[in-house]
């Protein structure tokens, strides 16, 4: 339910409504807008009539049901777009277009440092790199684990870039959060509900990738798992879905971007590397991402893709990443946005 307070409602009136909501066994999610306060009351529906009766409480303007299944990440409750603040100087939202780039896997200090310096000088703000790798085959490289996290932290020190890296299980959330600025949930884990709940209790932003066979509704409900546990800082990432097409690794669902922007207030980024699986398609799809209204990109870059431990065929060389940034900067300016 959405309880809209009147413009100018007092702190006492707001607190009274929050206390009432909680006394009915619901959780209260106040959103402090420029003009008025809106309070989301989330519960299982049994005390719906009690919540409805708050309409007559002092300072309350209206009480309305939230019709969509995703309550907190949807736009019914919160109209203003969410800005995910990664640090003092890195924000991801509709005003700030952010590029995250780096290797698929952290392989060695030399590989990571070379890539980090290259993407930094091209204008990326965030370094990506997997330390825990979700691989289809158990015989493939599984990542350097904590040693990889340490290298990422070292690269952050050396370059000033922020770090995003994947967390594979709820058991590793606090370890990864000790090193990373953003915790990535991979496509294969989008519905790992224990992991999502744990991330909801974490104070770091979460980059949530769309599952390879997930609908938009399932994707937003996974984001809802995180936000409903108390962490509002979720970035949605479209990374392609599985279709019958086999020339590409996945099929980039570009329409997911404007659709997610209609349905949700969370920032949306695109990963054209995993979406296509082909180096030659990454720049065209990066351009299309900006035009579709994405708030950022996640790009794989490797100094020597032929020898990459994972995802070489879709990784850009540093000079190709330079070109991507040059082109994307023009598109971002065309959309009147900052980068």
User: Taking CB within 5 to 8 Å according to partner kind, which of Mn ion, ligand PEP, none is near residue 239?
Assistant: ligand PEP
Provide, rounded to whole angstroms, the least separation between the CB of residue 109 and ligand PEP: 19
Q: How far is the CB of 242 from Mn ion (least distance, A)?
A: 16
- Out of 269, 311, 316, 324, which residue is the one contacting Mn ion (CB under 5 A)? 311
How far does Cα 141 stand from its chain's mean position?
25
Q: Tell me if 135 sits within 8 A of 310, measured CB to CB.
A: yes
Query: Shortest Cβ distance from residue 134 to ligand PEP (Å)?
Result: 6
Q: Which residue is nearest to ligand PEP (CB)?
A: 186
C-beta closer to Mn ion: residue 104 or 163: 104
Rounded to 5°, angle at Cα 203 from 265 and 120: 80
Q: Cα separations (Å) of 43 from 23, 37, 234?
A: 11, 19, 21
Q: Does 155 bind Mn ion (CB under 5 A)?
A: no
CA distances in angstroms from 291 to 253, 270, 276, listed in the order given: 13, 12, 18
Q: Produce one character per residue of 241-258: b if its CB has 16 or more CB atoms within 10 Å, e if not.
A: beeeeeebbbebbbebbe
When asked if residue 274 is in the footprint of ligand PEP (CB under 6 A), the reply is yes
Cβ-based nearer residue to ligand PEP, 110 or 140: 140
User: CB of residue 338 vs ligand PEP: minimum separation in angstroms?
Assistant: 25
Helix (H) or strand (E) holding 60: strand 60-64
DSSP letter assigned to residue 105: B
Instruction: Assess 166 for contact with Mn ion (CB under 5 A).
Output: no
Instruction: Determine, following the binding rule CB under 6 A, whether residue 249 of this chain makes contact with ligand PEP.
Output: no
Of the candidate residues 186, 267, 293, 305, the single one contacting ligand PEP (CB under 6 A): 186
Shortest Å distance, C-beta 320 to Mn ion: 16
DSSP 226-288: HHHTT---EEEEE--B--S--SSSSB--TTHHHHHHHHB-S-EEE-HHHHH--HHHHHHHHHH
Minimal distance, residue 99 CB to ligand PEP, in Å? 14
How far is residue 121 from each of residues 101, 126, 321, measured CA to CA in Å? 12, 12, 10
The site partner of 209 among ligand PEP, Mn ion, none (C-beta below 5 to 8 Å per kind) is: ligand PEP
**Does residue number 104 form part of the binding site for Mn ion (CB under 5 A)?**
yes
By CB under 5 A, residue 256 contacts Mn ion: no
Quick one: which segment of 44-52, 184-192, 213-221, 330-338 binds ligand PEP (CB under 6 A)? 184-192
Report 190-229 residues binding ligand PEP (CB under 6 A): 209
Which of 29, 120, 162, 239 is in the footprint of ligand PEP by CB under 6 A?
239
Query: Own/partner pairs for 240-245, CB < 8 Å, 24+ apart?
Result: 240/212, 240/271, 240/274, 240/275, 240/276, 241/210, 241/212, 241/213, 241/214, 242/212, 242/213
Interaction of residue 130 with ligand PEP, rule CB under 6 A: yes
Applying CB under 6 A, the residues found at the interface with ligand PEP are 104, 130, 134, 186-188, 209, 239, 274
């Amino acid at each position: 339910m959405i309880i809209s307070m009147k413009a100018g409602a007092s702190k006492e009136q707001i607190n009274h409504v929050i206390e009432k909501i909680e006394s009915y066994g619901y959780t209260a999610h106040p959103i402090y807008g420029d003009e008025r306060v809106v309070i989301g009351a989330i519960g299982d529906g049994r005390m719906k009539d009690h919540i409805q009766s708050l309409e007559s409480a002092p300072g309350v303007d209206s009480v309305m049901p939230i019709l969509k299944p995703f309550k907190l990440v949807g736009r019914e409750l919160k109209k203003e777009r969410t800005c995910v603040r990664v640090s003092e100087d890195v924000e991801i939202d509709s005003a700030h277009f952010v590029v995250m780039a780096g290797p698929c896997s952290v392989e060695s200090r030399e590989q990571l440092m070379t890539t980090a310096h290259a993407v930094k000088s091209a204008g990326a703000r965030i370094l990506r790199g997997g330390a825990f790798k979700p691989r289809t085959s158990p015989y493939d490289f599984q990542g350097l684990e904590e040693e990889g996290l340490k290298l990422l932290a070292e690269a952050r020190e050396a370059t000033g870039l922020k770090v995003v890296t994947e967390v594979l299980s709820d058991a590793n959330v606090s370890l990864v959060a000790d090193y990373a600025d953003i915790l990535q949930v991979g496509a294969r884990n989008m519905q790992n509900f224990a992991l999502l709940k744990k991330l909801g209790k974490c104070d770091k932003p979460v980059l949530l990738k769309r599952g390879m066979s997930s609908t938009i509704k399932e994707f937003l409900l996974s984001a809802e798992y995180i936000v409903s546990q108390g962490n509002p800082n979720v970035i949605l990432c479209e990374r392609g879905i599985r279709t019958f097409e086999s020339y590409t690794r996945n099929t980039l669902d570009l329409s997911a971007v404007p659709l997610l922007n209609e349905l949700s207030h969370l920032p949306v980024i695109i990963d054209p590397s995993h979406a296509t699986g082909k180096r030659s398609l990454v720049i065209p799809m990066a351009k299309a991402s900006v035009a579709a209204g994405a708030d950022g990109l996640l790009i794989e870059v490797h100094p020597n893709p032929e020898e990459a431990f994972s995802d070489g065929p879709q990784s850009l060389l540093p000079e190709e990443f330079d070109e991507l940034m040059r082109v994307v900067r023009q598109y971002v300016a065309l959309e009147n946005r900052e980068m």
